[in-house]
């Protein structure tokens, strides 16, 4: 049981909790005994404990005749003093029990919250240390659920485990001890009751459990279809597929309804059955006890106590079976969390990084030598025999069809993945011999999806350089062509972006992502992963000329789809199906590379093509 | 796509099935919402009447049980005393009769309880189902602008979380309300019947219990709310960091990100344990109160029993009643919370259902196969007032013509497409198709004329074949493949495992953006319509 593993780590607190639970159980179990005393001693014996047989007979006669004169003492007085004595004891025990219960809650809630906090932290740190491969393997969405909902589930289960899982067996054992010490062979009734309760719960669970298991899948399905309907609204309306979607949703909805109805109705059995079993037990005890009382081997108060203990035992067993139902669900959550924690990042820093061998100024010199790479061992390589050199301060472009491996080149360069064969080096040093942080500080990277964070524009631009001064902030925004639209915002640089930057347009997002990369002062090379795609041609051109002018000494690698964006680059690499099929300037490629020619033809006019070739 | 991927944050924390739903949300208009819920319940009135009857019956039988059983105890006690005194013994036939009567009572109680839950489960599931169905149908009738103003996650959380809460709290709320009220008064009546004096003494505990419950509930709500808020914050951080994982790593911001997370995590820890601790105070406190009442009753009862004012069995029954008495008080205080969160959930659901719809009132004109002449006449449009996107646009497109709209980012290119398809209606001017103002054409008829490939490539989870066939539902496999070939998608589809049967996953992340686009083009070309709109689909 993985859940218990989390608790074992806090074994000292758990020991204290078990100790306190024992005290609580003792307090809870003591009360019925006192009740028995009130009836048997307080009423039947006028508060006189351990009377002789003769006295007993005398008392009984006095009670049935209501003539207390022959007792030789004032029965009301002895009774009152006894009852007050017992009452004070009961109150004391109850108070102790309550205080102990509060102490247990205190410890249990703190421990459960600690477990959750530590798990959350370990998960978060682990995921942050992951390389792209691990994140893709789990998917970001799944990692999010694991670190949020699953952790909550564990916290809840741990708390309940400390309060109930440990308490129920203690109470059950305590109750059984009390019953055996009272007993005149009525224990079989309790055994019978437990068998009835447990087996009916077991039958119910056997029937309902499979449905419970698929429930989450069904809820997810409803959610998925609904989400697709909302995100695909334009398409659905454009194709008039409303009734198709309605059917798709209704399928999911109806299945969910049937399953939930089934489980709800199965559960509808639970309470009445258990209630009946408990009430039936009381009745059976009273009937059996009547015989013993008549025979003089049991007293009425003891019978009442016996009923109480029976209820304690049955409730404990019920709690235990509930826990048995609950634990598998927590197990699933724990397994999902453990899976993440057990996954090691595939990319780790070298033991002796050669960080100090890097040059500190000027543009980075980058080279790929016979690089081959595939995301999966079994799958076809995404890149094959890639070799090229990017001299310091030059601008290199990578073009090619969708899926030809352009972005992968940048990811390999930043060491989000390691190559299968060949070497990638920067300033002549293999990237695998550098610490990841130092390596990545060499780059100003603009990701394809221009992901922005929740926060102000300024926060986002100065993401990697928190002490960015205002002049630099304005300067990089100007190069990225972002200053004009920022100026149009009432709040300017203080404008709050929503998560993912969804409250600005795609083009604005790209420009902010570019500004963020430019603000990375340690950067000696800038990597643009299809970063101009959402910009119109005019902005694109302005941006490129600003880059060329202000960052002439830095190395630049531009991944692009549009020929116009890259035609002036020093070197253009043409990728097709993971291989380099052409390398050279725009003019050279138009002559020598068919793939390039085809791409260029589809985008540029004849005049432009001619101009480029000249 | 990123907007679609956002998970509803604020209410994400309390998902786990075990978590106690507290009155976290307060509805704006409790009465109005309850009235709407009641209107929704109208068709189920007969069901609810039965639910009420069976709930009351079940509770009443249950309330009588202890009193009847106590007669047996008294009989045994007095019989045993008589036997000791030598004046008689236990009359077993009387005891047997009493016990059989008790058994019958309990049997009836359980049976009624079961029938009640059975019916209620049906009602609440029916309601959840039809609410979900209504929301889906409502989405269909709403203008695009709504979904541009509101996140997908928000609507989704209404479909799942809110309706779930509504369904659960509805059955829970109604049943608990009935049973605890009946239990409260039933038990009170039984107590008064047994001994008014004892009742008076034990009632002293009621206001104390009520006060304590209120105190704990209000305190715990405060911490619960704090916990939920912090959970929301931390979930947002997690979501953002994991989605932007590449950026965090690229800029080597791991440490700073972890530091930020750790500090919110510690704050959450404080709120989390406090919330849980205070909530769990309820049980020991109520236990103490009920035990204190129990002790009082036992002592006073013992004295009264000696004077034959009450019997031993009465003490036993009374003790049981005192214990039962605190439960409905506790439950009623929770019902208030349950009803509140029900109303809050219902309010969100109904608010969505009451949103403004697109009017289709005077649209009537039917179109045949159109030739495809499109005229834009002085078209004006703005998404928000005073921020015109299109000011005075004029153009005429002849049938068969290919027209390109170019312009700066945000210049309104996509908007023109949306206006043409009547996703929005123009504010001024008119768009005329074959001489007919498109506002006079039924929306779906109009849209049937266009094949559209949008900037955002939407695919649903299902096979590639199903996705392409979406353009024409009765297309044969050959037609699907033809369309794929025309869109130059056939080659890459053949390389996928299962080819056309390759399952596209949620958010279509298992194929690339370019491939998504090709599939959407294939889908559009399959639909074979008069006009093809390509909205930056080839970028």
**How many Cβ contacts (< 8 angstroms) between chains A and B?**
462
Per-residue pLDDT of B91-130, as tens digits, reads: 888 899 999 999 999 999 999 999 999 999 899 899 889 8
**Best mutation target, A73, A213, A283, A505, to test chain B (most B CBs within 10 A):** A283
The Cα of A448 is separated from the nearest Cα of chain B by a number of Å equal to: 10
Per-residue pLDDT of B247-277, as tens digits, reads: 888 888 888 889 989 999 999 999 889 988 9
In this structure, of A321-330, B6-15, B162-171, the range with the lowest mean pLDDT score is B6-15
- Write the class of the CATH domain A449-521: alpha beta
Residue B298 to residue B303: CA distance in whole angstroms = 9
The highest-confidence range among A12-21, A148-157, B6-15, B316-325, by mean pLDDT, is A12-21
Nearest CA in chain A to B310: A43
Residue A285 to residue B346: CA distance in whole angstroms = 48
For every residue of B40-98, DSSP letters joined together read: HHGGGHHHHHHHHHHHHHHHHHHHHHHHHHHHHHHHHHHHHHHHHHTS----HHHHHHH
Residue B536 is encoded by which pair of tokens? 């930056």
Residue A159 to residue B443: CA distance in whole angstroms = 56
**Best mutation target, B10, B21, B80, B262, to test chain A (most A CBs within 10 A):** B80
Which residues in A lie closer than 8 A to residue B409 (C-beta atoms)? 505-508, 534-536, 539
Phi-psi region of B536 (alpha: psi -120 to 50; beta: other; left: phi over 0): left
At residue A534, φ and ψ (nearest 5 deg) are -95, 5
Give me the mean pLDDT over the A77-101 stretch: 88
**Best mutation target, B409, B438, B539, to test chain A (most A CBs within 10 A):** B409
Residue A555 is encoded by which pair of tokens? 């190395």
Sign of CA dihedral A454, A457, A458, A462: positive
Torsion of CA B378, B383, B389, B392, to 10 degrees: 10
User: A564, A537 in Cβ contact below 8 A?
Assistant: yes
Which residues in A lie closer than 8 A to residue B165 (C-beta atoms)? none
Give me the mean pLDDT over the A448-455 stretch: 82
CB contact under 8 A, A128 and B460: no
At residue B108, φ and ψ (nearest 5 deg) are -60, -45
Residue B299 is encoded by which pair of tokens? 């002592």
**Best mutation target, A128, A218, A382, to test chain B (most B CBs within 10 A):** A128
Give me the mean pLDDT over the B284-302 stretch: 81
Give me the mean pLDDT over the A574-588 stretch: 88
Residue B440 to residue B432: CA distance in whole angstroms = 10
- For A378-393, the three-class secondary structure string (H helix, E strand, C coil) is CCCCCEEEEEEEECCC
Q: What single DSSP character describes residue B105? A: H
CATH number of A1-183: 1.20.1560.10
Integer-rounded Cα radius of gyration of chain B: 34
Residue A381 to residue A420: CA distance in whole angstroms = 9
Burial class of residue A385, CB neighbours in 10 A (0-12, 13-18, 19+) = middle
Q: What single DSSP character describes residue B441? A: B
Residue A122 to residue A176: CA distance in whole angstroms = 43
Note whether B367 contacts A: Cβ–Cβ < 8 A: no
The residue ranges of every structural domain in chain B are 2-14+29-353, 374-448, 453-534
pLDDT at B366: 63
CB contact under 8 A, A447 and B250: yes
**Secondary structure of residue A526 in the 3-state scheme:** strand
Query: Against a cut of 0.80, is the pTM above it?
Result: no
Residue B52 to residue B318: CA distance in whole angstroms = 27
The Cα of B472 is separated from the nearest Cα of chain A by a number of Å equal to: 8
Per-residue pLDDT of B307-363, as tens digits, reads: 778 887 888 788 888 877 777 877 887 787 778 778 888 888 888 888 887 766 555
- Please, which pLDDT band fits residue B13 given cuts at 50, 70 and 90? very low
- Please, which pLDDT band fits residue B235 given cuts at 50, 70 and 90? confident
Identify the residue whose tokens are 């979607």.
A245
By C-alpha distance, which of A549, A550, A569, A547 is closest to A560? A569
- Write the class of the CATH domain B374-448: alpha beta
**Secondary structure of residue A397 in the 3-state scheme:** strand
Interface of B with A in 437-476 (CB under 8 A): 443-444, 447-448, 450-452, 454, 456, 458, 460-461, 470-471, 473
For the cut 90, the answer to whether the pLDDT of residue A19 exceeds it is yes
Given B110, B266, B409, which is nearest A507 (Cβ)? B409
pLDDT at A117: 94
CB contact under 8 A, A102 and B284: yes
Give me the mean pLDDT over the A131-139 stretch: 81
pLDDT at B1: 32
- Sheet with B374-384: strands ordered across: B387-397, B374-384, B428-433, B436-437
The Cα of A561 is separated from the nearest Cα of chain B by a number of Å equal to: 8
CB contact under 8 A, A539 and B299: no
CB contact under 8 A, B299 and A84: yes
Nearest CA in chain B to A92: B292
Give me the mean pLDDT over the A336-359 stretch: 87
Per-residue pLDDT of B461-514, as tens digits, reads: 788 888 888 877 887 888 888 888 877 777 777 777 778 888 777 666 677 767
Given A83, A271, A286, which is nearest B69 (Cβ)? A286
**Best mutation target, A227, A413, A603, to test chain B (most B CBs within 10 A):** A227
By C-alpha distance, which of A436, A10, A533, A217 is closest to B248? A436
Pairing verdict, β A555-559 and A525-529: parallel
For chain B, how far is it from start to end, CA to CA, in angstroms?
17
Per-residue pLDDT of A176-235, as tens digits, reads: 888 887 656 788 888 888 888 888 888 888 888 888 778 878 888 888 888 888 877 777
Which residues in A lie closer than 8 A to residue B527 (C-beta atoms)? 239
Return all residues near A239 (Cβ < 8 A) that are at least 6 apart: B447, B470, B471, B523, B527
By C-alpha distance, which of A109, A36, A290, A267 is closest to A184? A290
Note whether B104 contacts A: Cβ–Cβ < 8 A: no
CB contact under 8 A, B288 and A94: yes
- Write the class of the CATH domain B2-14+29-353: mainly alpha
Q: Of A348 and B365, which is predicted with more confidence?
A: A348
Residue B110 to residue B104: CA distance in whole angstroms = 10
Using a pLDDT cut of 90, give the percent of chain A over it: 20
Q: Is the CATH number 3.40.50.11540 carried by domain A355-442+522-613?
A: no
CB contact under 8 A, B136 and A272: no
Integer-rounded Cα radius of gyration of chain A: 38
* Helix count and strand count (H, E) for chain B: 18, 8
CB contact under 8 A, A105 and B280: yes
Residue A171 to residue A192: CA distance in whole angstroms = 18
Per-residue pLDDT of B149-186, as tens digits, reads: 776 777 777 777 788 878 888 888 888 888 888 888 99
CB contact under 8 A, B144 and A233: yes
Residue A130 to residue B350: CA distance in whole angstroms = 43
pLDDT at A105: 92
Which residues in A lie closer than 8 A to residue B99 (C-beta atoms)? 283, 286-287
pLDDT at B487: 77
User: A305, A202 in Cβ contact below 8 A?
Assistant: no
Which residues in A lie closer than 8 A to residue B528 (C-beta atoms)? none
In this structure, of A236-240, A258-262, A458-462, B235-239, the range with the lowest mean pLDDT score is A236-240
Give me the mean pLDDT over the A281-302 stretch: 87
pLDDT at B452: 63
Give me the mean pLDDT over the B179-204 stretch: 87
Note whether B168 contacts A: Cβ–Cβ < 8 A: no
* Helix count and strand count (H, E) for chain A: 23, 12
By C-alpha distance, which of A339, A426, A416 is closest to A389? A426
- Please, which pLDDT band fits residue B403 given cuts at 50, 70 and 90? low
pLDDT at B456: 58
CB contact under 8 A, A147 and B92: no
For the cut 50, the answer to whether the pLDDT of residue B3 exceeds it is no
Note whether B262 contacts A: Cβ–Cβ < 8 A: yes
CB contact under 8 A, B423 and A43: no
- Write the class of the CATH domain B453-534: alpha beta
Residue A580 to residue A422: CA distance in whole angstroms = 15
Identify the residue whose tokens are 């927590």.
A330
The Cα of A84 is separated from the nearest Cα of chain B by a number of Å equal to: 7
Note whether B478 contacts A: Cβ–Cβ < 8 A: no
**Best mutation target, B77, B89, B167, B303, to test chain A (most A CBs within 10 A):** B77
**Secondary structure of residue B250 in the 3-state scheme:** helix
Interface of B with A in 20-39 (CB under 8 A): none
Return all residues near B447 (Cβ < 8 A) that are at least 6 apart: A237, A238, A239, A240, B421, B422
Q: Of B446 and B137, which is predicted with more confidence?
A: B137
pLDDT at A107: 94
Residues facing residue B380 across a β-bridge: B428
Residue A203 to residue B177: CA distance in whole angstroms = 30
Using a pLDDT cut of 70, give the percent of chain A over it: 96
Interface of B with A in 375-414 (CB under 8 A): 407-411
By C-alpha distance, which of B524, B490, B188, B201 is closest to B327? B188
User: A309, A174 in Cβ contact below 8 A?
Assistant: no
pLDDT at A23: 94
Residue B289 to residue B327: CA distance in whole angstroms = 11
pLDDT at B384: 65
CB contact under 8 A, A268 and B240: no
pLDDT at B22: 37
Fold match between B374-448 and B453-534? Answer: yes
* Averaged pLDDT score across all residues of chain A: 85
The Cα of A110 is separated from the nearest Cα of chain B by a number of Å equal to: 5
């Amino acid at each position: 049981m993985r859940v218990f593993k989390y608790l074992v780590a806090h074994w000292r607190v758990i020991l204290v909790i078990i100790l306190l639970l024992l005290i609580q159980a003792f307090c809870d179990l003591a009360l019925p005994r006192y009740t028995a005393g009130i009836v048997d001693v307080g009423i039947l014996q006028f508060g006189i404990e351990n009377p002789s047989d003769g006295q007993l007979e005398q008392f009984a006669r006095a009670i049935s005749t209501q003539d207390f004169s022959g007792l030789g003492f004032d029965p009301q007085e002895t009774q009152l003093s006894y009852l007050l004595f017992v009452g004070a004891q009961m109150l004391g025990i109850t108070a102790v029990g309550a205080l102990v219960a509060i102490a247990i809650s205190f410890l249990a809630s703190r421990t459960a919250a600690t477990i959750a906090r530590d798990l959350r932290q370990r998960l978060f740190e682990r995921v942050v240390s992951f390389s792209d491969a691990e994140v893709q393997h789990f998917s970001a969405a799944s990692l999010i659920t694991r670190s949020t909902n699953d952790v909550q589930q564990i916290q809840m289960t741990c708390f309940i485990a400390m309060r109930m899982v440990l308490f129920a067996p203690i109470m059950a054992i305590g109750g059984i001890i009390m019953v055996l010490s009272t007993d005149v062979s009525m224990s079989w009734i309790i055994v019978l009751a437990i068998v009835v309760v447990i087996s009916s719960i077991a039958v119910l669970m056997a029937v309902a459990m499979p449905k419970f298991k698929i429930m989450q899948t069904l809820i997810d399905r409803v959610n998925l279809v609904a989400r697709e309907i909302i995100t695909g609204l334009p398409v659905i309306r454009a194709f008039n597929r409303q009734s198709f979607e309605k059917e798709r949703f209704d399928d999911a909805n109806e299945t969910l309804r049937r399953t939930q109805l089934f489980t709800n109705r199965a559960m509808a059995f639970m309470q009445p059955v258990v209630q009946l079993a408990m009430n039936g037990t009381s009745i059976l005890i009273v009937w059996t006890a009547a015989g013993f009382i008549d025979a003089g081997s049991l007293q009425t108060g003891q019978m009442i106590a016996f009923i109480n203990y029976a209820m304690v035992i049955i409730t404990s067993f019920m709690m235990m079976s509930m826990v048995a139902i609950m634990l598998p669900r927590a197990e699933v959550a724990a397994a999902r969390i453990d899976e993440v924690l057990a996954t090691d990042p595939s990319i780790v820093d070298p033991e002796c990084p050669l960080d100090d061998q890097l040059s500190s100024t000027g543009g980075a010199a980058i080279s790929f030598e016979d690089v081959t790479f595939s995301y999966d061992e079994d799958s076809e390589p995404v890149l094959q025999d890639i070799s090229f050199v990017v001299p310091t301060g030059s601008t290199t472009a990578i073009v090619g069809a969708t899926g030809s491996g352009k972005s992968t080149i940048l990811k390999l360069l930043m060491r989000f993945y390691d190559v299968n064969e060949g070497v990638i080096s920067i300033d002549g040093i293999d990237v695998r011999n550098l610490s990841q942080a130092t390596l990545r500080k060499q780059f100003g990277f603009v990701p394809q999806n221009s992901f922005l964070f929740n926060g102000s524009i300024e926060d986002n631009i100065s993401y990697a350089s928190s002490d960015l001064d205002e002049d630099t902030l304005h300067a990089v925004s100007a190069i990225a062509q972002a200053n004009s639209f920022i100026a149009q915002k009432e709040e300017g640089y203080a404008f709050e972006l929503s998560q993912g930057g969804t409250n600005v347009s795609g083009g604005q997002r790209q420009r902010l992502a570019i500004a963020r990369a430019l603000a990375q002062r340690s950067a000696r090379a800038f990597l643009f992963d299809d970063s101009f795609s959402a910009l119109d041609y005019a902005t694109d051109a302005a941006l490129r000329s600003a880059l060329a002018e202000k960052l002439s000494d830095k190395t630049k690698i531009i991944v692009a789809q549009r020929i116009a964006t890259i035609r002036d680059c020093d070197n253009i690499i043409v990728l097709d199906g993971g291989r380099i099929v052409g390398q050279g300037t725009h003019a050279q490629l138009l002559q020598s590379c068919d793939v390039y020619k085809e791409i260029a033809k589809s985008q540029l006019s004849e005049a432009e093509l001619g101009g480029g070739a000249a | 796509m990123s907007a679609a991927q956002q998970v509803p944050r604020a209410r994400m924390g309390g998902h786990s099935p075990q978590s106690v739903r507290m009155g976290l949300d307060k509805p704006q208009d409790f009465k109005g919402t309850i009235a709407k819920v009641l209107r929704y319940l109208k068709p189920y009135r007969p069901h609810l009447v039965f639910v009420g009857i069976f709930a009351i019956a079940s509770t009443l039988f249950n309330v009588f049980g202890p009193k009847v059983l106590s007669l047996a105890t008294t009989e045994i006690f007095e019989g045993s005393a008589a036997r000791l005194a030598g004046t008689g013994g236990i009359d077993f036939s009387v005891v047997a009769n009493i016990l059989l009567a008790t058994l019958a009572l309990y049997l009836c109680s359980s049976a009624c309880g079961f029938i009640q839950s059975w019916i209620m489960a049906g009602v609440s599931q029916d309601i959840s189902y039809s609410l979900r169905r209504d929301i889906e149908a409502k989405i269909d009738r709403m203008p695009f602008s709504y979904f541009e103003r509101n996140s997908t996650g928000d609507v989704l959380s209404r479909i799942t979380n809110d309706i779930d809460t509504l369904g659960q709290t509805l059955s829970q709320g109604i049943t608990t309300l009935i049973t605890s009220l009946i239990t409260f008064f039933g038990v009170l009546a039984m107590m008064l019947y047994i001994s008014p004096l004892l009742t008076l003494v034990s009632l002293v505990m009621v206001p104390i219990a009520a006060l304590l419950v209120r105190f704990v509930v209000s305190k715990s709500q405060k911490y619960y709310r704090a916990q939920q808020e912090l959970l929301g914050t931390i979930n947002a951080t997690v979501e953002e960091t994991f989605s932007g994982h590449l950026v965090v790593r690229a800029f080597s911001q791991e440490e700073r990100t972890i530091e930020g997370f750790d500090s919110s995590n510690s704050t959450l820890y404080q709120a989390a344990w406090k919330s849980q601790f205070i909530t769990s105070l309820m049980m020991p406190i109520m236990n103490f109160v009920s035990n204190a009442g129990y002790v009082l009753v036992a002592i006073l009862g013992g004295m009264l029993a000696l004077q034959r004012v009450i019997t031993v069995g009465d003490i036993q029954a009374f003790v049981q009643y005192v214990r039962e008495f605190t439960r409905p008080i506790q439950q009623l205080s929770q019902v208030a919370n349950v009803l509140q969160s029900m109303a809050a959930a219902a309010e969100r659901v109904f608010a969505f259902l009451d949103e403004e719809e697109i009017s289709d009132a005077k649209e009537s004109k039917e179109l045949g196969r159109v030739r495809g002449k499109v005229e834009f006449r002085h078209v004006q449009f703005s998404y928000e007032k005073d921020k015109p996107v299109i000011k005075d646009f004029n153009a005429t497109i002849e049938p068969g013509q290919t027209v390109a709209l170019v312009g700066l980012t945000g210049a309104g290119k996509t908007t023109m497409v949306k206006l043409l398809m009547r996703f929005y209606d123009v504010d001024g001017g008119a768009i005329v198709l074959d001489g007919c103002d498109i506002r006079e054409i039924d929306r779906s008829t109009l849209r049937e004329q266009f094949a559209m490939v949008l900037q955002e490539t939407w695919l649903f989870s299902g096979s590639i074949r199903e996705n392409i066939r979406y353009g024409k539902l009765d297309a044969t496999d050959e037609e699907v493949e033809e369309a794929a070939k025309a869109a130059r998608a056939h080659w890459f589809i053949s390389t996928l495992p299962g080819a056309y049967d390759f399952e596209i996953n949620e958010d279509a992340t298992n194929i690339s953006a370019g491939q998504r686009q090709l599939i959407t083009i294939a889908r559009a070309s399959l639909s074979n319509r008069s006009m093809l709109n390509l909205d930056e689909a080839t970028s």
